[in-house]
Structure 1
Amino acid sequence: MVTDVDADSPVYVRVAAVLRQEILDGVYPAGASLPPEDGIGRMHGVGRMSVRRAIDVLRHEGLITTERGRPAQVRAQPARAFVALGGGDVVVARMPSREQAQRLRIPVGVPLLEVHRTDGPVETYPADQFAALTGNSRRMQRHATG
């Protein structure tokens, strides 16, 4: 079959796992197109609906972008910046509203991080671009991560 991820998992989940690993391994680098749906189906011995659902999973994870009539493309993963948290600061992850996603240019499937500061302000960041860093400084520090 497709993969040994979990034999009890639905087929589309297993296909998504294989494609995800291939993207992470660089088989499909940023900007590359995935094979057409029928090609993925033939490679993995699955039907088109399973392929479409697998592609939808990857799109919602922010790994690929899709456009009607074109093969899915691997999305460039932005370098991450770190948000420093002070004592008592809290980070909450949630999905953005449609308006927030458009305003902040957050791809489908990427959560929004809300940093609630002890002194009152709330800051928001796209989760695919930021990670929390604990420490005394509250400045955001940009660090490329591989």
Structure 2
Amino acid sequence: MTSERDFDPDVATWKQLAGRLRQAIRTGELAAGKRVPSELHLVQEYELSRLTVRRALQQLRSEGLIVVVQGRGTFVMGEQERTTVTLSSGDRAQARMPDPEERRKYGLHEGEPVVLVTRADGEVEGYGAHRVTIEGR
């Protein structure tokens, strides 16, 4: 078992835990669609505080690597189909955290940023930031 003693004291522990979990996702040790170990399990396994574990998991959520499914747990995100959006003259794109209504409207997971594209004619389109590529003409 790894403990807090196995972490570099010069780097924030939550960043190191996020790095270890990120590596496990990239190598397939934590495979797409599989449940991420619970907070309690990670607290016990690494002998860390719950706050440290939560910060690490929040970081992975913000990177789009994991998703929390209310009432079911936290899961590794699979590869997602990406949408390419082309911006024309006068179009604008803005990325930010969505409000609850936007999360529902655009089918976003908790913690997933939204990219809002405002076309020159005023039409607004929304995309999950982890699933969109923006191009200019």
Give the shorter-chain TM-score range. Answer: 0.7 to 0.9
**What letter matches 2:77 in structure 1?**
R
**What letter matches 1:34 in structure 2?**
V
The alignment of Structure 1 onto Structure 2 pairs a total of residues equal to 132
Distance of 1:77 and 1:17 partners within structure 2: 19
1:134: how far off?
1.9
Runs of 4+ aligned residues of structure 1 deviating over 4 Å after TM superposition are 67-71
* Equivalent in the alignment of 2:116: 114
Distance of 1:67 and 1:134 partners within structure 2: 34
After superposition, the C-alpha distances for 1:21-67 in whole angstroms (9 at most, x for unaligned) are 32133221111122343543455442344223322332344322335
Contact 2:68/2:110 (CA < 8 Å) preserved in 1? no
Q: Which has more helix, going by share of residues? A: 2
* Equivalent in the alignment of 1:16: 18
Distance of 2:117 and 2:37 partners within structure 1: 39
SS in 1 for 2:130: coil
TM-score by length of structure 1 reads: 0.71
**Identity value in percent:** 34
**Map 1:47-86 → 2, pairs under 5 A:** 47-66=49-68, 72-86=74-88
Deviates more, 1:61-70 or 1:45-54: 61-70
**What letter matches 1:75 in structure 2?**
M
* Equivalent in the alignment of 1:90: 92
Which residue, 102, 105, 117 being the options, matches 1:103?
A: 105
After superposition, the C-alpha distances for 1:80-128 in whole angstroms (9 at most, x for unaligned) are 1100112332211111111110222201121111112233322222212
Contact 2:30/2:76 (CA < 8 Å) preserved in 1? yes
Contact 1:61/1:109 (CA < 8 Å) preserved in 2? no
**What letter matches 1:116 in structure 2?**
T
Deviates more, 1:126-135 or 1:45-54: 45-54
How well do the aligned residues superpose, as a CA RMSD in angstroms?
2.7
Change over 3 Å in CA distance of 1:123–1:23 after alignment to 2: same
* Equivalent in the alignment of 2:10: 7
Q: Give unmatched runs, 5+ long, in structure 2.
A: 1-5
Which residue, 117, 123, 126 being the options, matches 1:124?
A: 126
